[in-house]
Chain A
Amino acid sequence: MKKHLPVILTGAVTGVIALALVAFGNPANMGFCIACFIRDTAGALKLQSASAVQYVRPEIIGLIIGSFLLSLLKKEFQPRGGSSPMTRFVLGMVVMTGALVFLGCPLRMLLRLGGGDLNALVGLVGFAGGVGIGVLALNRGFSLKRAYTQSTLEGAAMPALVTGLLVMVLLFPVLFAFSESGPGSLHAAVWISLAGGLIVGGMAQRSRFCMAGGIRDQMLFTDFHLLSGSAALLVVVIIGNLILGKFHLGFQGQPIAHTDGLWNFLGMALVGWGSVLLGGCPLRQTILAGEGSTDSAITILGMLIGAAICHNFGLASSADGATFNGKIAVGVCALILLAVTLLNSNRKGAKA
């Protein structure tokens, strides 16, 4: 139990902070959503023009800087990269597409479930199925090849970029696009969001908290360790929402969600499969980017561009359900994942 404590604590604290961020102004069941927040940031940077989802989310900045500072403090900051960066960029785009068809990353999936949104349960089944495909790939020797040591500047580039973004948005907000209505207009105060991100970023750096890793390790090694963090998060969020009177069990009328079961399932299946190929869920990618992984930094850039494409070309779902373009995109993304999986799997590679 003791060895599980850091990850359980991270899950529980993430749950509490997520509830607090909603209470302070974030959209419902969206205390955190790595996919939505990167998408909103893409909007604020005018990479996509959906006027309802434009805001520089300080949570993302906080997660990366929190992880960066803790990894420096614990001497775990390690600039590394070169493990199939372009493939990772594309996988970032695919994961973002799946998340925006479902309307949430794995973290928001659990937050939605904790608010009683049963559409997220359908998503969770799809997510676990996607992770299962990824596990099959790992057992067949899937690898995006080794990462190598990089310069300090290279590893610090992403933490520096988001710090620059924070400074720019605080000093010159007029340069950015901000939603006046819709989810992008709903947010906690900048300092509260930033503090929430910093705390979760630091804790997740220490505990290696990861949504995809939880289910993956359970399937691969029957190891419950990481999954205990996700379980703690879910329990805390359910209890918190019950206390706050925000637990509404059902499929209909859930906030920033749709009831299109097949596409909730398939969207999250893409996210699960892609996350295992990447070695971690979107939250974990932000943490690794903070620790100096340029591969994860590239993945985040892939997610940023993926989000812009999703909104500029109508791939993202709305409360009305998945779009025609979005459904086509899910098919294309599944083919991309299949190609990446097959072309990087090698039975011999699975051996030492």
Chain B
Amino acid sequence: MKKVDARGCACPEPVVLTRNAIKEDPSGAEVTVDNACAVENISRFARNAGYQVAAIKNGSEVTLTLTKP
């Protein structure tokens, strides 16, 4: 599972980085972002691509874990 640091990235870069990560390793990815818009976009993209999404909030940062069901 690849780790992606998408903090501070403008829309839609966090989603592009996530997509590229699961292209390389389809088992899943762990993505750290720091704004609500990126959380929504990655979650929507991941569910559309057939992944489950778990979110852990740490201050202003959110780590999203994408796994295959």
Contacts and interface: CB of A to CB of B under 8 A. Distances in A.
A3 B44 contact: yes
A140 to B, nearest CB: 10
Contact of A279 (B11, B29, B60): B11
Interface stretch (A76-84, A107-115, A309-317): A76-84
A147 B10 contact: yes
A279 B7 CA distance: 15
Classify chain A: how many residues form its interface, as a range. Answer: 20 to 34
B54 interface: no
Contacts of A83: 8, 10
A223 interface: yes
Contacts of A159: none
A220 B12 contact: yes
A144 B10 contact: yes
A172 interface: no
Contacts of A149: 60
Contact of A220 (B9, B10, B16, B60): B16
A149 B2 CA distance: 25
A194 interface: no
A149 B44 CA distance: 25
Contacts of B18: 352
A117 B65 CA distance: 47
A147 B8 CA distance: 5
A2 interface: no
Nearest to A224: B48
Interface of B: 2-5, 7-13, 15-21, 24, 29, 34-37, 40-41, 44-45, 48, 60
